[in-house]
Amino acid sequence: MNLLITGGTVIDSNGGRQADVHIADGHVVETCVPETTIDATGLVVSPGFVDLHTHLREPGKEEAETIETGSRAAALGGYTAIVAMPNTDPTQDCVSVVDFVRRQGITAGLCDVRPSGSITVGRRGTQLTPFAELAAVGVKLFTDDGNGVQDPQLMRRAFEYAKGLGVTMAQHCEVEALTGGAVMHEGDCCSHLGLPGWPALAEELMVHRDIELVRLTGAPAHFLHLSTARSVELVRAAKADGLPITAEATPHHISLTDDLLRSYSAIYKVNPPLRTMDDVDAVRAGLIDGTIDAIATDHAPHVSESKEQPLDQAPPGMVGLETALGVAIGHLDMPLADIVATLSWKPAKIAGLEEAHGRDIEPGSPANLTIFDPDEEWEVVPAMLASKSHNTPFVGVPLKGRTKHTILNGEFTVKDGQATR
Ligand code: NCD
Ligand code: ZN
C-alpha cells in the first residue's frame, strides 16, 4: 500500500515538526504516488509504541486473553510491538513455547509479538533456563515476572550468564518473605481497613540487591513496574554511578492510589500494589527526569469471575493496553515528545527492537507508526475494550489522548479507531 499522511505533527527522537509522511513497501520513503491519503491535521504521527510488559495469557488461560485479542488491544492502544510476559502455562521457559507465542503473533498479524523468556524453569526460582538457546531464537528479555527471583546466588549466576549473551534480566522486585497474604500497600489506609499489607520495603530490598549484583557482574538489569519513592531514588543513584540499569513504570502507578481499596473492590488489586500519593509523585518525577525510562502497561487480563472474588482470593492485575496513552498524557506534566519517548523509542531500545520499532520517521525506516489525537478527552467503557478481559480500573477517570490509526510494516492494523482484522 502506498500511503500519504498529510498535515500532522511528526514527533520522533528529533523532536516535533510539521511534515507529510510517505509510505511505500512497508517503509517510510521520500515520496510516493499515494493510493490512500490520511488527513492527520491536529494529530501526532509518531513511531509506534512498544510495550515492555504485556500478559497475553496464551498458552494456558485463553479464557482471559489470547495472543490475537491481546495484540488487537495493543494495536488499538497504538502499539506496534509488545513483549509477552512468560507466566503462561506452560511457562515460556523453552524454545518450543517461545516459538509458539511468536508464531501465534505472526498469524494474528496485529502487532509484533516478542516473547520474553523466564529466568528459571517453570518460574519456580530454582534452576536457570537455557539462556543461550533462547537468545539464539531471539529472546532478549528474561524475567520470572509474577514473581521475583528470591535466591541471590541464583540471581548472581543469571546476571553472569546473561552478560556474555547480550540479554537483559528484567526483575519483578518483590521479596516474598515480606508480602505473604498481602492484598494492598502497607500503610495508613491498609491498617485502617485491617487488611494484610505489601510493604514498600519488599520492592526496595530487591531493587537494592539487584543494583549491587549489577555493580558486581556488569550485566544489565531492567526493573519492572517500579512503584515506590525509595525505589526511584535507588535507581536514580545507580544510574548516577553509571550502572547499566533501566526501569519502567505503569500507567496505574502514575495515576491511582491505595485509598481506592476502601471500596474493597479487587479491580484495584495489583502487583506491586497501588501506593500513596507521595509514591505516585515520585514515580512521575522519575519519568520526568529520565530515571524511569519507559511506561509499560503490565496489561494483566483476568476473567470477571476471578476479579469478583473477595480481595484475598482475587488475582492481582489490570488491563492497560487500550488506556495507557490516555492515562500518560492526562497524568504527566511533561512535554508530549518526552511522553512519546517513554512509550516508543526508549522501550524499543530496552527490548532490543530498535532496528524495527521506535525509529525516527525518515526514509528507510520501517513504517511502524502511531497516529493519535493528543487532545481528545474520553472515558473508557469496559465492554468496548478489544481485550477479552475488562478488568480496567480507569472507569470514571478522565483520559486525554487517543489512537486513531496504527500502522505495522506499512499496513493499517487500526484505521479510524477500529482494528482492521
Ligand atoms: C501480573 C499477572 O496477572 O500476570 N499481575 C499483576 O498484578 N501485575 C503479574 C505481574 O506482573 O507481576
Ligand atoms: Zn510483575
- Pocket lining for ligand 1, CB < 6 angstroms: 55, 87, 145-146, 172, 270-271, 298, 300, 315-317
CA–CA dist 273, 289 (Å, integer)? 23
What does each C-alpha distance from 118 to 25, 26, 51, 156, 299 come to in angstroms? 36, 32, 17, 15, 18
Residue nearest ligand 1's atom 10 by CA: 146
| Model confidence pLDDT, tens digit, residues 299-335 | 999 999 999 999 999 999 999 999 999 999 999 999 9
Instruction: Assess whether the previous peptide bond of 199 is cis (omega < 30° from 0).
Output: no
CATH of 49-358 given 3.40.225.10, 1.10.3720.10, 3.30.1360.70, 3.20.20.140:
3.20.20.140
Q: Which ligand places an atom closest to the C-alpha of 56?
A: 1
Q: Which residues of the chain have pLDDT under 70?
A: none
Residues 170 and 141: beta-carbon distance below 8 Å: yes
Task: Please report the pLDDT score of residue 92 as a whole number.
Answer: 99
How are beta strands 36-39 and 399-408 bridged, if at all?
unpaired
| Model confidence pLDDT, tens digit, residues 93-129 | 999 999 999 999 999 999 999 999 999 999 999 999 9
CA–CA dist 128, 157 (Å, integer)? 9
Q: Which residues are catalytic?
A: 298
Tally Cβ neighbours within 10 Å of residue 127. 11
Task: Please report the pLDDT score of residue 188 as a whole number.
Answer: 97
Q: Ligand 1 centroid to 53 CA: how many Å?
A: 9
- In the chain, the N- to C-terminal Cα span, in Å, equals 16
Task: Please report the pLDDT score of residue 417 as a whole number.
Answer: 98
Neighbours of ion ligand 2 (CB under 5 A): 145, 172
Q: Which atom of ligand 1 is nearest to the CA of 147?
A: 12
Task: Please report the pLDDT score of residue 167 as a whole number.
Answer: 98
